[in-house]
Amino acid sequence: MAYLDLAPAITTIRSRPEDFEFSNNTLHHLSSRHRFRFSSDGDVQVDAACDCSMLRISREQGKAFHAAYREWYATYWRPIEINREFASHFCPPSLWQRLAMRFLKYLLSRPRSTKPASAQVSLLEQSVGLKVCN
């Protein structure tokens, strides 16, 4: 059986790591739009709009590509993810977040009453003119 030669992909992931991205448990090669999935047993599957996905990948090249991927992920992609997450911590808050923060500040800045609860109830009864049931 004929196999797909992964040597160009292995070379590219090592020499031009910026040509790849990882999302939804899939490695994406941006310019070719090829997607690579790694199974738990070490097999590699290629998803592509062309005939590249028609051929199987040999076990040896699959292992070599998976090893190159793991190295790429640890040395290139994971630091990018961490830096993106770190940067997101300093983004300006959304409108809803700002409103929630203002409301929380308002609640925290309100003076607390030092009167006992029974005195607060009697004040409420006097101001509203209602009798609260006990």
**C-beta of residue 15 within 8 angstroms of C-beta of residue 72:** no
Q: What is the mean pLDDT of the chain?
A: 86
For residue 13, how many other CB atoms are within 10 A of its CB? 22
Reported pTM: 0.67
pLDDT tens readout for residues 13-31: 999 999 999 999 999 999 9
Q: Across residues 106-120, what is the average pLDDT?
A: 72
